[in-house]
Structure 1
């Protein structure tokens, strides 16, 4: 019988409500929850395909333990696994002290999971060595809010997007990263065309299509831009002196500093026109309601904290904060990065927005937890933590729900650290992540749709996450694993004392945690799982006795600082760590794709989500490619000071010369060579400890690999993937992806200098199912060229091309079409490698929500359909709308016939 469970999406920080349709055992479908105030029923392409993800073949089903380095892990039971972990941690702590162990956790955990880990690390183990992957995305925003406004509290609500008169989007491709909010912005601008939208981004992204003004600043020059805008605001008198005098400190120092940031100097430094700078300042200064939105382009920088504060300065100077349609609004990257900050799950924080370095804060939490004291020694942030693991200072590391062997910068050192660590525990739902390779103990965790707790989204709204089905195999909820381990460790470290972890449900954890926020800026004391079920998701602060949440903060002009005043920060512009120079003349930027998320542990299990961008590509401007004599699709070597990567190059007119772009999602699982972060640098912001993932110096050169390989195989995709992946370690280049709209197939692309050993190639063909049965094959040993196609029931189910791959797109299209025609049979038996009819464009899915390909959209345009006609006939653009900007570009390029 079909049932429906209301929950939330597990991807970005928008925090969309979802309705999970299931039969009690399997998730069957997902739709947006029309009653959830974050999305009102809308979902993006990722959220709308959640039911297609999480292939059980990719899931960890039972604990596995490695009893010695170099040995394979073997299945074990939960008692043995957690007893072993407790013994190793206890022995390590006894011999080397509590700071010899560490925990690295995730913004994808629920608040209750976070709290359990935090209490385990600080109250029981006695270390501040607990950090979250939120360090990589949100920590500069945290510092910016705390320094400028007094607390890590975004003051705005999503409804301010619709109420703003001037909206500044900085360092965010909102159309890809937060599509549901972008749809709200599109609708608001359509309703009020006078609303002005300014986008600041080195690239011309889909977000820029909505903008009245796009400032394509040079990467890393944001601080100079914001100071230059303030200079003009001061010159023109577009500031709110009454607000400044009544509610802020530090303005005179900032005013003195920005005098030097004159329009000519700033425009030259940022690579924009003086007129663009003055127009921007005019739009901001004359607007009645000014809102700013930003994301990783601001935060992931060695000057991320300065960028955040310089942007907030503009709001304080104009009094544009604490009122509808106005304020500085950081867009969170992960679904519960906010909950992690609330519970204190960064190495420098404690629960309730307290500081680990503050003695009175430590005393308050220690008293509440009933322990003598909390550790005083500063904890290690993410980069520092893995450096300590590599150097041997940290000897036992617990990683939960995150994939540092893909997401951390300077991957070579991260992999070395994981190899060197004597004991690595990985608590993970998907055994396929790069980090799981290094687990001495792998603990299977429940995932989305299988666990209960709370999350807090970007607008401070707390939602109840509900389980629809049981986790597969022996997988358990994260809080339950953590508390079970903690109780075992307690018996070794503090025997005969009452347990600190006597929780029987996530609601019990929330009830304990929320009282640590009472009276604080984020007061959650009036909330409970039951209340959220009754009233719906609520924004904090929500003190005891409240009947509704707090829509926006600081409307009274009082800030949570010592004197109640906000602070202007006067910090000079500092250039990014790596400047362009002769050896590395290109600046590499990293960012998101529309349909994938983070390291693809989940989205990488859904073939449909590869339809828009199927493989890892390096994007460069046409000028830079011509200068290096590169052709579109050609393999290149990308070098930085830390490593190199082989990858196809792609011409992208959205980039200025001197810049390159690569999506953040590709790691060593899908792209041989450790992925994009083998290139990025570990240098970090001194205040936030957030690394500069957005700005690395690189050079690009052509690679000649004459022997190429291409394969496609459907059926048992994940199992085949796990067996095939190791066989390509010897290839110079190898890329893996999925394809398919209705059927799924694994796609492999590889290349090397010469043909691999015949035995190795035979192993590959066997795993592809191309060694026997209804297989048509052609082999030319003199040219080392071969082609094999398996045809069942009149259609292709597997194929491979070895030696050269000119026919790959044609064959892939035949597979998509489900046909094996006479042209295919004639081509298979002929020495010619090129496909009949010449080149064939690879199929591309433009609308993932409705499963509509570019070919169908182009055919509709040829028939005379406009955008509305395409929506009516094909359904594209009617769900999340992320495909609409690209469809509009096709309509301009290929206008409908009247």
Structure 2
């Protein structure tokens, strides 16, 4: 059965908080065909490169298929009994705060709900936090301070209805590509619509910007304080709306004392931005990690909210502040109380009435009276031995947390560690005493909530492999074994959802925003068929926007403006650490790559970790293009490939956060980030670390390809999957005495046919291993970075390749070059040839000729850059 006759199943994408709908069809052989759902309101059929290639990520090659205890296979009963025993004994001996759960936006809402019920209601501790602390906690804090609750006021439609969209701290083109497509399409339909991008880097998002403000890192409060002052000076304050706002005068006074020049922006550029914002009624300000990941992140959020509150530009079509989340269920986690300082349904852990209501509803034996430890403090407590039993679910903190080396060591030293995941090939999973095999995306069923409050179903379309089980089931089973059988006697996610919806009605009774009690009686069948639904869902209301009516969720019922002051990033540059280090995502990878690294297409665009550095800094350091650099901070060290570009400013560098010990051990970039947090939100400052950069002097460099996975184990290596096997960049400070022996050990090859080309005088060595006339592996080494056609060579393993050691494609064969469009696998040489030969003069024409840029659109800025390479005279012909 080839699967073509099977029906499609509606589900939701596994990646960012856009929450795109997908249509899934099994191919009958364990694979999956994926396309965008044209009926889902978030994406209307669009998908980004990651969503398009989800079908490549469902393989079982590295799946955890059974429980593991201390490295040995175990059965579920033994594993669950052990987890229950260890947590029970730890609480009995050391108190409830000696245990903790660290969870993830990869969980479905039903999983998240059980995790919080177990931890806060039954273990009796608030020590449950989520990796959303690393991305959205400052937004939560800002919302709560201004609105009284963690409420997103608007909807995605506002992005298209606005006359001005401000994208601040958000590389939307790469991190939320479908939203970027929607904004781009709206601008093309209404060219008078304006786009402003606020970012220290010139990112792909700037491709549609009318104005780019490359502000100094960390100066957002000064920028938006300047805007607030301009709003006041230019008479744009909404007097009637201010009747619903507290703190206006204090906020204006603080803003008037602020100095926008600390942003480093040209005063004329500032004036232009302020006049544009003030003079445009329909403004949406989109913000993301560049705002949140800061030691003043909550203040940055409130500085943005202040401007919208002062003008009444909130809760109306085309108006408002808009936070875009980074994970598929970051919002769902916030709704169920996934953060250590919250209760479910936006109730507050420090509010005795809320606390008592939740405890009574759950019939819980215990309820903590104060917030638990936020992520950074949680792992500090693990390292200090205060937390003695830790359960980590669907996240990789040994890589993703700031000061990652110390976090890794803390987990390794913890008395008892449980990890629930889909794979055992992560830096964190290796540290576990017990590994529990979880169902993955495509195998589990439940709900997720996206950035504009839309609840969507995620549906199982593939069978659970091996002994993998849903996360809610594993946690409920542990709870039953700890003596709480009746409270956790669920038969499926439908029951959990109904309980959760019922609890939300209690929150609604307190006058809070999150209320989906209209779904509390949903039947199993209706749950199964549930369409995307924006909350709130009550007898009197469904969806819509918040706050245009001036009704807020604070005790006074009024919104709050805050007096704010610019604070410099916690770490300051100096002679020892002269560079400001920014970290973030790249277009085709996701978090720590446990999913995206399985896709050869997604790995083909940027296959190696890199450090963006300005040409002036590179010249001063005498860095050649593509040189390796050693990056050092007070916390750690790393080695990355230099990418010399004016996309960053002098004195600033940027590195992506995706690589791990599995893929590039020296590029675990969060090992260089200080564990400094915002005092209000507890969110780490991941955008403003300090570092030094120096050339990395290697004795040899190499490029290798093979049909089977291999681990170089050298000082520097970076490995990526290809359609034919694996590829790797390698460098080391000491050359081997016997190259052939070293290569055989690298690939694990003992015999076979061998080709060797050696140039001892120049330090060059090439070797290819063949089996049955087909290339099995090849190594290209030299004293300098190796000049070979990497993408061509990556396609040779498993093929007849007698001339592989030339390192170059034959004259009679096309070389597509490095991939630019990951959706359709279109390379740079193919694009340049089409531009020259067909006289293409626009990105749209490239799309018509090659399909590049016609799906997710994330590569369109790169296509524009390639067009610019062609001399104007030729392009005009």
TM over 0.5: yes
Q: Deviation per CA, 1:529-558: give whole Å up to 9, x if none.
A: 754655621111111465xx3121123121
Q: How does 1:767-778 map to 2 (within 5 A)?
A: 768=747, 770-778=749-757
Comparing 626-635 with 155-164, greater Cα deviation is found at 626-635
- What is the alpha-carbon distance in structure 2 between the residues aligned to residue 500 and residue 393 of structure 1? 28
Change in Cα spacing, 1:535 to 1:59, as seen in structure 2 (3 Å) is closer
Comparing 391-400 with 791-800, greater Cα deviation is found at 791-800
Contact 2:402-2:684 within 8 A present in 1 as well: yes
Q: Deviation per CA, 1:660-713: give whole Å up to 9, x if none.
A: 000111222211236101111111001100000111011101121112332111
Q: Which runs of 5+ in 1 are unaligned?
A: 67-72, 829-833
Contact 1:11-1:597 within 8 A present in 2 as well: yes
Aligned pair 1:874/2:872, yes or no?
A: no
Contact 2:177-2:858 within 8 A present in 1 as well: yes
* Selected match of 1:859 from 819, 829, 833: 833
Q: Deviation per CA, 1:792-847: give whole Å up to 9, x if none.
A: 6776442112454755533652453788677656x59xxxxx9999xx99931111
User: So what's the TM-score if we normalise by structure 2?
Assistant: 0.94
Aligned pair 1:61/2:65, yes or no?
A: yes
Which residue matches 2:100?
Answer: 102
Which residue matches 1:145?
Answer: 143
**How big is the shift at 1:775?**
2.7
**How big is the shift at 1:631?**
1.1
Q: Deviation per CA, 1:23-77: give whole Å up to 9, x if none.
A: 46623210000110100000000000000013311111111101xxxxxx01111
Aligned pair 1:19/2:23, yes or no?
A: yes
Q: How many residues align?
A: 857
* Selected match of 1:765 from 744, 761, 773: 744
Aligned pair 1:480/2:476, yes or no?
A: no
Contact 1:221-1:573 within 8 A present in 2 as well: yes
Aligned pair 1:564/2:557, yes or no?
A: yes
- What is the alpha-carbon distance in structure 1 between the residues aligned to residue 864 and residue 282 of structure 2? 30
Contact 2:534-2:543 within 8 A present in 1 as well: yes
User: Alignment partner of 2:517: what SS?
Assistant: coil
Aligned pair 1:813/2:792, yes or no?
A: yes
Contact 1:223-1:573 within 8 A present in 2 as well: yes
Change in Cα spacing, 1:792 to 1:226, as seen in structure 2 (3 Å) is same
Which residue matches 1:383?
Answer: 376
Which residue matches 2:611?
Answer: 618
Aligned pair 1:738/2:691, yes or no?
A: no
- What is the alpha-carbon distance in structure 2 between the residues aligned to residue 504 and residue 407 of structure 1? 34
Contact 1:226-1:310 within 8 A present in 2 as well: yes
- What is the alpha-carbon distance in structure 2 between the residues aligned to residue 221 and residue 517 of structure 1? 38
- What is the alpha-carbon distance in structure 2 between the residues aligned to residue 841 and residue 144 of structure 1? 51
Which residue matches 1:604?
Answer: 597
User: Alignment partner of 1:184: what SS?
Assistant: helix
* Selected match of 1:501 from 488, 493, 504: 488
- What is the alpha-carbon distance in structure 2 between the residues aligned to residue 842 and residue 382 of structure 1? 45
Aligned pair 1:252/2:253, yes or no?
A: no
- What is the alpha-carbon distance in structure 2 between the residues aligned to residue 402 and residue 372 of structure 1? 29
**How big is the shift at 1:590?**
0.6
Which residue matches 1:523?
Answer: 515
**How big is the shift at 1:156?**
0.7
- What is the alpha-carbon distance in structure 2 between the residues aligned to residue 292 and residue 233 of structure 1? 15
* Selected match of 1:47 from 30, 51, 57: 51
* Selected match of 2:536 from 538, 541, 548: 541
Aligned-pair RMSD on alpha carbons? 2.2
Change in Cα spacing, 1:811 to 1:217, as seen in structure 2 (3 Å) is closer
- What is the alpha-carbon distance in structure 2 between the residues aligned to residue 849 and residue 94 of structure 1? 54
**How big is the shift at 1:472?**
1.3
Q: Deviation per CA, 1:874-896: give whole Å up to 9, x if none.
A: 11111111111111121122253
Q: Deviation per CA, 1:330-375: give whole Å up to 9, x if none.
A: 0011000110111011111111101112222111100001124412
- What is the alpha-carbon distance in structure 1 between the residues aligned to residue 443 and residue 490 of structure 2? 19
Q: Deviation per CA, 1:240-296: give whole Å up to 9, x if none.
A: 12211x2101101111222223xxx41x31011111111111111111211110100
Which residue matches 1:748?
Answer: 728
Q: Which runs of 5+ in 2 are unaligned?
A: none
Q: How does 1:83-482 map to 2 (within 5 A)?
A: 83-244=81-242, 246-261=243-258, 265-266=259-260, 268-482=261-475
**How big is the shift at 1:758?**
5.2
**How big is the shift at 1:322?**
1.2
Q: How does 1:20-35 map to 2 (within 5 A)?
A: 20-23=24-27, 26-35=30-39
Q: Deviation per CA, 1:489-540: give whole Å up to 9, x if none.
A: 22xxx6xxx5210000001001111111111311111134754655621111
Comparing 746-755 with 74-83, greater Cα deviation is found at 746-755
- What is the alpha-carbon distance in structure 1 between the residues aligned to residue 660 and residue 29 of structure 2? 32
Which residue matches 1:69?
Answer: none
**How big is the shift at 1:567?**
0.4
